[in-house]
Structure 1
Amino acid sequence: MGRDAAVGAGRLGRGTPGLLGGTPILSDHAFRAHWWPAVASVTRMVGDLATAEDAVQEAFLAAVEQWPTQGAPANPRSWLIGVARHKALDAIRREARRDTKETAAQRDWAAARPAGPIGPVPDDDVLGLVFMCCHPALEVSVRVALTLRSVCGLSAAEVAAVFLVPEATMAKRLTRAKRKIRDAGIRLRVPPPDSLTERLDAVLRVVFLVFTEGHKASTGSTLVRESLCDTGVELARALLALLPDEPEVAGLVALLLLTDARRAARVDPAGNLVLLADQDRGLWNRDLIREGEHLLEGALRAGRPGPYQLHAAIAACHSTAPYAGDTDWRQIALLYAELLRHEPTPVIEANRAIAVAMVDGPAAGLAILDRLSDHPQLGHWPQLHIARADLLRRLGRADEAVDAYRAALRFELSAAERAFIRRRIVQLSPNADAGRP
């Protein structure tokens, strides 16, 4: 095997050819639902993430070739895992024949193959894959990339687009990370209780970033990549089931639910971005909002506030307002000020500036953003330029607002965001070339 994962999400999960009864054989949802448990199950068996991913890829390709003519099996996940296990064993046997020192390992893997039907993948295996991808032995920068690849099923090309690096560069990073997992003997498992807490922060961060990537959709033409949002929520829920008394886990789940509740209202039928203030709140998912608020209330009662609980409280300020004009911006500004104690970053300060602008006027918010504009961490953050442009627009400084919008267009944005900015440029300067950064 050893081929790159480009045959993964790009070819198998999205728009897979072949229909049964008018339904795609492997829809995006089906790919997402089966990829992660299959990789976890095979990794548990063979002890090597790279081999497991290659084997699951081959199993999905076999499904694409066979299911349209032979029909989908009654239990697609068991079929995929079974085929992947056979392919992983075949690969190990080939390696063992090339290196006689691995003959013993070959016998071990062959003996590990279940003889009977494949049952549900244990939750510990599913979560164990996440903890493996977030192991402290791995560089922080590669943990998110490896999770997007191994857990979410993105191809190397798609992960590369998220991090704005060439595909070959990302493929090498992922290969090095998997090799390190193998050589260091990192096992697929949920850490024991005595080390679980110290590992939790890294996992929560990665889960949050997975969801955020789906929410903002760095790649592709859609504003929301639904499968990544779903996976982020699923990961967070699994962690909450593992640690029901940990308030920051509950805070993360609440944050994701309250944010995801607005998914249907974020774009109009034509695919245009709809700002929060202009969204049809009747489209918001009230069940998710109620669940998120309930989880947040329980977390706050624990008396151990943390950044995810504060982020969720800010999201709740929006979800509880019947109309945009009823939003408690003063409370949001206070929550951001408290959040700065936990996350003293310029990004949090920039978000606080927006709340301050809603309370004290655009000039007050702009003064904060202008102080941040030279910060090296924000130099390539398009949202800073977008926020400045909006405040300049509200102050009647149209030419400066157009310049700020154009500055934002120099950076990576979704197609919907680019279209929104260009419409704003035309509104402010009808004769302007909206396509010019």
Structure 2
Amino acid sequence: MAAVPASLAGSFKGSFAYYTIKDRLPQILTKVIDTLHRHKNEFFEEHGEKGIEAEKNTISLLSKLRNELQTDKPLVPLDDKLPDTLLWNQYLEYQQNLLDGNGQPSWFQSPWLYVECYMYRRIHEALAQNPPIDDYDVFKEVKVQSFFESHQAIIALCTYLRELLKNIEDLDEKQLQEDFLKLLQVSLWGNKCDLSISAGEDNSQKANPLKSLDDLKPFILVDDMESIWSLLINCKKRRTSEDITRIDIVLDNAGYELITDLVLADFLLSSKLATEVHFHGKCIPWYVSDTTKHDFNWTIKQLQSANNRWMSKCGMNWEGSIKKGVWVYHDHMFWTLPHEFCSMALVATDLYAELEKSNLIIFKGDLNYRKLTGDRKWEFTVPFHQALNKFHPAPLCSLRTLKSDVQVGLKHGQGEQFVTTEPDWMISGKYGVVQFDASL
């Protein structure tokens, strides 16, 4: 196999990685500091002087972090004694060894994927070291806002799903396929709503998502949807009453995108394309809008209590699926480590073994794509399978809108043409891919 290319990094001036570390990450830190400051009274009401002291200390640590980032200081080991601290510090040591004694890993000189993850982990550290506000989610406010601002789109989706499920038993294979492909695309384009890209600015879905699918179709650069359908329909046809068809969805953003994933999961179960769906979220607040267990449960509760009958029906059904054990939520600390996924088998053997039970793993979003491909300077035409670098717990696919400088599996000349005509094609979220890899 050919050598693995270099990691994307802030040392490439003018790159999206450079812009992210220089501008976007400090903006996000500033918003986090502002959020804590605005909730000062709340901390006082709940915890008295201890709450105020904790808020002050946390802001002080985050201001120091922002300064380190902006002045390209060396990365320092974590100091918070949490379950993943040792793994993080070993990873820093590994980065130091790569430099072979030539200085320390710093913000602009280290892999972009690593330093971006490291920043979010340091935000978590600043809070973890300051009880009683140690479990405060600094991104909760923007996630909640994003959910409510997508209200109309959520109603449209829930209504569509409830209508669809009324006669799901009577659908022939062709109709089932059409509906599956539709909801897969809704889930793909749901990935546009990413608050870490907009640095927390409003990025919600306002319009009815089903009406724009035909217009968006030309923007899917790699379309392996038919292969995914074949895999699922064959599983269904071969399945005996004892068999399980398990689909795993590695989640990305909370809010509207999460709803698109839950709608897809409901359809998969109701159409018997799957018998159980496993969701994987983050165990700490991450990349502004990533889904935590709290976000997952909060979303279902919101739907249940909505004053729209189809939204509340979806909420009730989804709560029922969790109680029945056909929907299972997992979080594992591996998802908030800086490692690319090809090291999962070594670093998180239990998670890898869990994913091996799956018939299909759906990886949502840009960060998962970056970790699948190692966030490297791959040629555009390198096959998806090769970029996965031996990561194959089960057949897998990526549903992702492009928001970073990595893309593989394109046709010859396709990427180069975009570079000339649309310089920001890789970062605007305008284009999407549905990439599938069945080889084990």
TM-score, normalisation: structure 2? 0.30
The structure, 1 or 2, with the larger RCO (C-alpha pairs under 8 Å, 6+ apart) is 2
Structure with greater strand percent: 2
Structure with greater helix percent: 1
TM-score, normalisation: structure 1? 0.30
